[in-house]
Amino acid sequence: QSVLTQPPSVSGAPGQRVTISCTGSSSNIGAGFDVHWYQQLPGTAPKLLIYGNNNRPSGVPDRFSGSKSGTSASLAITWLQAEDEADYYCQSYDSSLSVRVFGGGTKLTVL
Amino acid sequence: EVQLVESGGGLVNPGGSLRLSCAASGFTFSSYSMYWVRQAPGKGLEWVSSISSTSSYIHYADSVTGRFTISRDNAKNLLHLQMNSLRAEDTAVYYCARVGPTVAFDIWGPGTMVTVSS
């Protein structure tokens, strides 16, 4: 069981907006530690998508955005495209465990 | 080009050993903490081990403590993971990753598959 909780799956039609939640606790997200998001396309390594809660690395489209509030964070994807179909993982730091922790991952299906 | 490339994976019997390596290029390897993250088939990401830039700080996940040893050679831009007493549950793709200035895993290797089976 992951320290950070994500829905196993979400789906949306092309052009729609979807959000993926990441729920933590007072020892990780709620303690103020940054949340990062990764996109893993089928058969490939994870790729940094959002860092520091709401920042995009160079080359990541502005259709992807992140937010954080309290003990939770969210990834929003607007104008959904077929190429967005992938697994998405949130990640933070947990002060009780003293390690970086991942969410269980969410599979995005573009209908 | 900033790049990480893992090697050393393969099929090993339970109780056996493997040594993974990760070759870094395109950045000042000696300035960054490095990590091993694994992904079992069909599962999520799991942090395995980390090492600071000068090897002063080393940490392991409880699941591998006492069996795995992380090390680095800054002169050769190499990261290693010595895996002993391997178990079936260690079967996974092993990624090396860099924690960059953003404090996120900003560079990942393509991964190397480790299969523990008789």
With 90 as the cut, is the pLDDT of residue B102 above it?
Answer: no
Tokens of B43: 């599962």
With 90 as the cut, is the pLDDT of residue B24 above it?
Answer: yes
Nearest to B104 among A36, A44, A101 (CB): A36
Whether chain B has a CB inside 8 Å of the CB on A45: the answer is: yes
Residue A101 and residue B47: Cβ atoms within 8 Å?
yes
Residue A91 and residue B106: Cβ atoms within 8 Å?
no
Whether chain B has a CB inside 8 Å of the CB on A53: the answer is: no
Full pLDDT tens readout for chain A, 111 residues? 789 999 999 999 999 999 999 999 999 999 999 999 999 999 999 999 999 999 999 999 999 999 999 999 999 999 999 999 999 999 999 999 888 999 999 999 999
Whether chain A has a CB inside 8 Å of the CB on B101: the answer is: no
Residue B95 and residue A38: Cβ atoms within 8 Å?
no
Nearest to B44 among A34, A48, A104 (CB): A104
What pLDDT does residue B14 have? Answer: 97
Q: Please report residues of B whose CB lies closer than 8 A to that of A100.
A: 35, 47, 50
What pLDDT does residue A2 have? Answer: 87
How near does any CA of chain B get to the CA of A91, in Å?
A: 8
Element (H, E) at B15: none
Q: Please report residues of B whose CB lies closer than 8 A to that of A102.
A: 44-47
> Residue A12, class by beta-carbon neighbours within 10 Å (0-12 exposed, 13-18 middle, 19+ buried)?
middle
